[in-house]
A and B are shown apart, each in its own frame.
Chain A
Amino acid sequence: MGLTFIVVLVIVLAVFFDFTNGFHDTANAMATPIATGALRPKVAVAVAAVLNLAGAFLSTTVASTISGGIIHEGPGGVDITPAMIFAGLIGAVIWNLVTWLRGLPSSSSHALFGGLIGAALVGAGLGSVDFGVVLSKVIIPAVLAPLVAGLAGFIATRLAYRITRRPVEKNHRAGFRVGQIFTSSLVALAHGTNDAQKTMGVITLALIAGGFLPTGSAPPVWVIIVCACAIAAGTYSGGWRIIQTLGGGLTDIKATQGFSAEAATAATVLASSHLGFALSTTQVASGSIIGAGLGRRGGAIQWATAGKIVIAWFITLPAAAAVGAVCEVIAGLGVEGLVIDATLGLVVILAIFLLSRRRPVEQSKALEVDVAMNSVMTRVERRAAEKKRGDEILATRRRLSDESSLFDYGPREEAT
Chain B
Amino acid sequence: MIDWAAFIVVAAVSIGSAAVLVAIFALGLRLLAIAETHRGVRVVAVTCFVVAAAGALYGVYLVIPSLQLA
Contacts and interface: CB of A to CB of B under 8 A. Distances in A.
Interface of A: 55, 58-59, 61, 132, 135-136, 140, 144, 148-149, 151-153, 155-157, 159-160, 163-164, 166, 169-173, 175-176, 179, 182-183, 186, 189-190, 193, 256, 259-260, 263-264, 266-268, 270-272, 274-277, 279
Contacts of B7: 144, 277
B29 A272 contact: no
Interface string B16-52: 0111011101111110110000000000000000001
A54 to B, nearest CB: 9
A135 B2 CA distance: 8
A160 B60 contact: no
A277 B10 contact: yes
24 contacts: A59-B66, A149-B14, A152-B19, A155-B15, A155-B19, A163-B27, A163-B29, A164-B33, A166-B33, A171-B29, A171-B30, A179-B25, A182-B53, A186-B59, A260-B22, A264-B14, A264-B18, A267-B15, A267-B17, A268-B18, A271-B10, A272-B14, A276-B6, A277-B3
A172 B29 contact: yes
B14 A152 contact: yes
Interface residues of B, number: 35
Contacts of B30: 163-164, 166, 171-172
B25 A176 contact: yes
A260 B56 CA distance: 13
Contacts of A55: 63
A386 B1 CA distance: 56
Given A148-B15, A166-B33, A259 B25 contact: yes
A164 B26 contact: yes
A189 B60 contact: yes
B29 A156 contact: no
Nearest to B61: A270
Given A156-B18, A179-B52, A276 B29 contact: no
B7 to A, nearest CB: 5
Among B19, B60, B66, the one with the most A-chain Cβ atoms within 10 Å of its Cβ is B19
Contacts, number: 139
Nearest to B64: A58
B18 A277 contact: no
Given A136-B2, A263-B21, A59 B52 contact: no
Given A166-B33, A271-B14, A277-B6, A58 B19 contact: no
A193 B64 CA distance: 7
Contact of B63 (A135, A155, A169, A190): A190
Contacts of B18: 152-153, 155-156, 260, 263-264, 266-268
B11 A148 contact: yes
A186 B62 CA distance: 11
A66 B39 CA distance: 59
B9 interface: yes
Nearest to A154: B15
Contacts of B63: 55, 58-59, 186, 189-190, 193, 270
Nearest to A260: B22
Contacts of B27: 163
A59 B33 CA distance: 40
A401 to B, nearest CB: 52
B56 A186 contact: yes
A148 B7 CA distance: 9
Contacts of A140: 2
Given A136-B2, A267-B14, A277-B7, A159 B22 contact: yes
A163 B26 CA distance: 6
A136 to B, nearest CB: 5
Given A136-B2, A172-B30, A270-B62, A160 B15 contact: no
A160 B22 CA distance: 6
Given A152-B18, A170-B33, A260-B22, A274 B6 contact: no
Contacts of A163: 23, 26-27, 29-30
Contacts of B1: 132, 135-136
B66 A151 contact: no
A176 B2 contact: no
B57 to A, nearest CB: 9
B55 to A, nearest CB: 9
A268 B14 contact: yes
Among B21, B22, B66, the one with the most A-chain Cβ atoms within 10 Å of its Cβ is B22
B9 A274 contact: no
